[in-house]
Amino acid sequence: MLNAADDLLVEQGFAATTIEGIATRAGVAKQTIYRWWKSKVDILLDALADDAREALAWAEPAGTPSEDLTAHLHRVGAFFGEPAGQVFQALLGHAQLDKDTAVALREGFLLEQRERDAAGLGALVERHVGEAPDRETVDRLVDLLLGPVHYRILVLGGPVDDALVEATARAVLEEAAG
């Protein structure tokens, strides 16, 4: 069922991903879907949870902090090209239109992801400057880090290029070094 939803979204887009369509595709009755989820958003959230956790995870240190940071940003940029990333993008889009979706997405995914990002970036900054930044600082740094890439993709709809990634990484490390 989650696969059917995923596939339909990637193939046909969010609007054409109807509950009836998912049911048909999955060879399942509509009622069965309603038994487990209350909307297609709910289904996609479930589909997202597994995939995205992994795709947006912070890798183990493999080079200098700067290198690791740019690598992570590139991974984030690439994520939006994958199926799970398209689901994420669709849910983000729908969250702008519907408060319930916004809340569900926040609580079902974004808050956790924020924690992972804070932990990942916090550790990286500690490696860089020698001491762990406090939580408020880390939060701010996460926004500085992820904002430009998301802006490029979600608002401008453009690809993420090296120059932006490097400038962003540089800005974050400088700000962290204070």
Binding residue for a copy of itself, selected from 66, 114, 118, 126, defined by CB under 8 A:
114
Phi, psi for residue 125 in degrees, rounded to 5: -65, -40
Q: Which of 97, 109, 114 is nearest to 45 (CA)?
A: 109
Closer of 28 and 78 to DNA (Cβ): 28
What gap in Å lies between CA 69 and CA 53, rounded to an integer?
Answer: 18
Which of the listed partners (a copy of itself, DNA, none) does 25 bind, with a CB threshold of 5 to 8 Å by partner kind?
Answer: none
Summarize as ranges the residues that interact with DNA (CB under 7 A).
16, 18-21, 27-32, 34-36, 39-40
**How near is the Cβ of 125 to a copy of itself at its closest, in Å?**
14
Could you give the CA distance from residue 86 to residue 162 in angstroms, rounded to a whole number?
Answer: 22
Write the Ramachandran bin of 13: left for phi over 0, alpha for psi from -120 to 50, otherwise beta: left
Q: Which of 69, 163, 169, 177 binds a copy of itself (CB under 8 A)?
A: 163
Footprint on residues 56-95 left by a copy of itself (CB under 8 A): 89-90, 92-95
What residues contact residue 121 under an 8 Å CB cut-off, 6+ apart? 58, 138, 141, 142, 145, 172
CA distances from 44 to 20, 25, 155, 165 (A): 15, 15, 22, 29
Shortest reach from residue 33's CB to a copy of itself, in Å: 20
18 binds, options DNA, a copy of itself, none, Cβ within 5 to 8 A by partner type:
DNA
Binding of a copy of itself by 143 (CB under 8 A) = yes
- Residues of 112-121 as b/e, b for ≥16 C-beta within 10 angstroms? ebeeebbebb
User: How many residues line the site for a copy of itself (CB under 8 A)?
Assistant: 41
The residue among 30 and 170 lying less far from a copy of itself, judged by its C-beta, is: 170
The DSSP letter of residue 56 is: T
Pick the closer one to DNA by CB: 102 or 144.
102
Residues contributing to the site for a copy of itself (CB under 8 A): 13-15, 89-90, 92-99, 102, 106, 110, 114, 136, 140, 143-144, 146-152, 154-157, 163-164, 167-168, 170-172, 174-175
